[in-house]
Amino acid sequence: MPHVKVNKFNLYFGNDHILKDIDVSIPDKQITVIIGPSGCGKTTLLKSFNRLIDLQDNVKTDGRILIDGEDVFSRNADLCSIRKKMGLLLQKPYPLPMSIYDNVAYGPRIHGLKKGGDLDGLVEHYLKEASLWDEVKGRLHAPAGNLSLGQQQRLCLARGLAVEPEIILADEPTSALDPLSTARIEKTFIKLKKSYTIIAVTHILRQAKRIADYVIFMYYGRVIEHGPASKVLENPEKDVTKEYVNGVIS
Amino acid sequence: MPLPSFIPFKGLSAGKFKNISARTLFLIAALFINFILLSIIIWLTVKSAPVWVEKSIPGLLLSQVWFPARGGFGMFSFIIGTVLSTLLAVILAAPPAILSAIYLHEYASKKIMTAGRTLIDLLAGIPSVVFGLWGIITVVPLVRNHIAPAFGINTTGYCLLSCGLVLSIMIVPVIMLMVIEVLDGIPNELRESSLALGATRWQTVKHVVMRMAYPGILSAVALGISRAIGETMAVLMVAGNVPAVPSSVFEPVYPLPALIANNYGEMLSIPLYDSALMFSALVLLAMVLVFNIGLHIFKKTARYGGQTS
Ligand SMILES: Nc1ncnc2c1ncn2[C@@H]1O[C@H](COP(=O)(O)OP(=O)(O)OP(=O)(O)O)[C@@H](O)[C@H]1O
Ligand SMILES: [Mg+2]
């Protein structure tokens, strides 16, 4: 049974019906890419998974999003432990206002890991997982804001991995980055999918082709089509999907 | 594009001309503000010269003897009055102001936030004479009839405590508004990033928001202090205005602004009185300037967290 299952999920901002009857399962340990035109609800769906959507006003939902069989929108869901299961990458990297080391150690610390030797080991381990270690090992205690944007994004990845999530959520994680940094993030994703389920939103079709195992195409708040990448991107069933992947609509 | 004919310089394009004239204008404006400050300082220094030449500056600042008719112009009690009432006001005002600003911005719903903000805006706009009157009819009796008796003390209620209370109520909205502004400037994505790691609201506020907001909160408190130091009308109405160093919060104080406002224009023909009041204004101005410059230096040298960008 997959980690992540969306079940007849609807979301409203006030009276605006934003997400409509979303019904989709996300395959484990693969990269699932959500594509679709601007404003179709990709970010909203992504932020529903870890309930960051709660930060918005007047949000109403019905239906369910199941993570490991547990409905994240159920009344007695424990937000902190749900969010801990999912690392999050945003469109632009936002390192916390502290050192590189403390950014990675932030999660372990708030979840009650001890100080000292094993924290150093953790920080090193996750910086390596995010392919950043070699570039920062000499200046772990420098402010994270000093890093380049691409490095900052990988730091944010390391920071998210350090709370030992099962899932990585990424909202256009490379849209602020140069091609080289983009390639590094993509390579890191492909390396990480052995151990994590990755859900990424992207605007760039070529990126979807490079990294996606599974593709979800959204249009005006609905999932129009989903399936293995080769099928949805190369040989879509629906006409709108065809138009989108051929660049007729964007 | 043809040059407009009014341009007086040959070979200068309209764009360049505008650029130069704009720069000159800003420069003049900046110089003008400095010039005003400088001219106030010079003017006060010159006008107060008779008294500080005759009595010496340390003599004026450190003496407690205020007896204009016999040439006693000691400022010490007034300086202490200003310092104590400002300090008391800030100690009373800053913690609740900062905490409620954080509550409104970080915890409350949008509705409560908007309502709260409107209310604070209104409070911040109330003229100080209204606060003064309100102090006379509520704070002074409260102190006289309830707070002081609880400590077994007799007081008229016109005292340091009333002064500090009224001032603190006046500066709470000032501090709150600025703290809210500071919190507004912190990108939401930082909060999201912390929450997404499974942090609680409180952990996010404590480790991320406060760290980012710290310099701004300091400035907010400083603004409150500046406001309290110079506040005149409300202070004059509740402080009691007795030139002596108080030995408890239930004794009257006489802050510098109240001294000036109470006496200027009614100096009769007492020699040096006029000059002494000028000197007290100079002292007040110096206190504000020294405080602000000190704060500026502190903020330049202190390091906040690791954020550089
Ligand atoms: N806080 C909000 N209140 C009301 N409507 C909102 C809010 N946030 C987003 N929306 C609306 O919800 C819809 C979906 O927005 P969302 O950000 O999920 O789109 P998106 O697919 O991520 O777009 P993009 O590709 O431009 O990032 C949009 O029509 C947007 O205007
Ligand atoms: Mg988006």
State chain B's mean pLDDT as an integer: 90
| Confidence category of residue B308, pLDDT binned at 50, 70, 90 | very low
Main-chain dihedrals φ then ψ at residue B160, nearest 5 degrees: -55, -45
Percent of chain A with pLDDT over 70: 98
pLDDT at B160 over 50: yes
Contact A163 B187 (CB under 8 A): no
Number of domains present in the structure of chain A: 1
Domain membership of residue A62 (yes or no) is no
Among the bound ligands, the one closest to the CA of A39: 1
Put simply, whether B296 touches A (Cβ < 8 Å) is no
Tell the burial category of A156 from Cβ atoms under 10 Å away from its Cβ (0-12, 13-18, 19+): buried
Cα-Cα-Cα-Cα dihedral sign, residues A100, A102, A105, A110: negative
Ligand 1 close to Cβ of residue A56 (< 6 A): yes
If you measure from the C-alpha of residue A172 to the centroid of ligand 1, how many angstroms do you get, rounded to a whole number? 14
Torsions phi, psi for B230 (to 5 deg): -90, -10
What is the per-residue pLDDT across B220-243, written as a single tens digit (0 to 9) for each?
999 999 999 988 888 999 999 999
| pLDDT of A114 above 80 | no
Torsion from C-alpha of A5, A9, A12, A13, nearest 10 degrees:
0
Percent of chain B with pLDDT over 90: 75
CA neighbor of A136 nearest in space, from A163, A101, A168, A165: A101
Distance from B206 to chain A by nearest Cα, in Å? 11
* Mean local confidence (pLDDT), A11-31: 95
Neighbours of B15 (CB within 10 A): 9
Assess contact for B211 and A98: CB atoms under 8 A.
Answer: yes
Q: Check pLDDT > 80 for residue B259.
A: yes
CA angle B306, A96, B111 (to 5 degrees): 125
Contacts 24+ apart (CB under 8 A), A118-122: A122/A162
Among residues A217, A208, A203, which one has the least CA distance to residue A250? A203
Q: Taking CB atoms and an 8 Å cutoff, what residues of chain B touch A145?
A: 306-309
How much is the pTM? 0.86
Question: What is the distance in angstroms between the CA of the first residue and the CA of the last residue of chain B?
Answer: 42
Domain that holds residue A157: 98-164
Q: How confident is the model at residue A213 (pLDDT cuts 50, 70, 90)?
A: very high
- What's the CATH number of domain B76-308, 2.40.128.130, 3.40.50.11540, 1.10.10.60, 1.10.3720.10? 1.10.3720.10
Q: Smallest Cβ distance to B194: which of A50, A92, A96?
A: A96
CA–CA separation, A81 and A86 (whole Å): 9
**In chain A, whose CA is at the least distance from the CA of B209?**
A97
Dihedral sign, CA of B140, B144, B146, B151? positive
Of A90, A107, A156, the CB nearest to B198: A107
- pLDDT(B17) > 50: yes
How far B175 CA lies from chain A's nearest CA (Å)? Answer: 24
* B187 part of contact set with chain A, CB < 8 Å: yes
Tokens found for residue B180? 């809210």
Is the Cβ of B303 closer than 8 Å to some Cβ of chain A? no
Q: Measure CA of the first residue to CA of the last residue in chain A; give whole Å.
A: 34
- Which of B106, B107, B193, B212 is best to mutate for the A interface (most A CBs within 10 A)? B193
B305 pLDDT tier (thresholds 50, 70, 90) = very low
The pLDDT value recorded for residue B271 is 85
Q: Average pLDDT in the B121-139 region?
A: 94
Q: Does A136 reside within a domain?
A: yes
Rounded Cα distance, A123 and A119, in Å: 6
Chain A residues in contact with B306 by the CB 8 A cut-off are 97-99, 102, 142-145
Q: From CA B263, how far away is CA B276, in angstroms rounded?
A: 11
Sole residue written with tokens 């069933």? A237
Chain A touched by B266 (CB under 8 Å): no
Please name the residue that has the structure tokens 């195409």.
A217
Nearest residue in chain B measured CA to CA from A160: B197
Q: What is the mean pLDDT of residues B268-286?
A: 91
| Torsion sign (Cα): A153, A157, A160, A165 | positive
- Kindly list the domain boundaries of chain B, sorted by start residue: 14-55, 76-308
pLDDT at B265 over 90: no
d(CA B187, ligand 1 centre) in Å: 18
- Residue B171 CA to residue B98 CA, distance in Å, equals 11
Do A96 and B194 contact (CB within 8 A), yes or no?
yes
pLDDT band at B76; cut points 50, 70, 90: very high
The Å distance, Cα A38 to ligand 2 centre, comes to: 7
Which chain B residue is nearest to residue A95, measuring alpha carbons? B190
Contact B208 A102 (CB under 8 A): no
State residue B3's pLDDT score. 47
Taking residues A67-82, what's their average pLDDT? 90
* B 211-230: CB under 8 A from A: 211-212
In this structure, what DSSP letter does residue A230 have? I
- Closest Cα in chain B, distance from residue A98 (Å): 4
Which atom of ligand 1 is the closest one to the Cα of A91? Answer: 27
d(CA B281, CA A172): 60
Q: State the Cα–Cα distance between residues B203 and B191, nearest whole angstrom.
A: 10
CA gap B88, B75 in Å, rounded: 20
pLDDT at B86: 96
CA nearest A97: which of A159, A162, A185, A168? A159
Nearest CA of chain B to the CA of A245: how many Å? 30
B206 and B125 in contact (C-beta within 8 Å)? no
Task: Please report, as a single letter, which amino acid is at residue B76.
Answer: F
| A42 touches A48 (CB < 8 A) | no
Length of chain A in terms of residues written: 250
Here the ipTM equals 0.92
Residue B73's H or E segment, with its range, is strand B72-73
| Ligand closest to CA A59 | 1
CA nearest ligand 1 atom 3, residue: A13
Which residues, 6 or more positions from B40, have their beta carbon under 8 angstroms from its beta carbon? B285
pLDDT tens across A138-170, in order? 999 999 999 999 999 999 999 999 999 999 999
Cα A193 to averaged position of ligand 1 atoms, centre (Å):
28
Say how far apart CA A67 and CA A31 lie, in whole Å: 16
Cα–Cα distance for residue pair B259/B230, rounded to 1 Å = 12
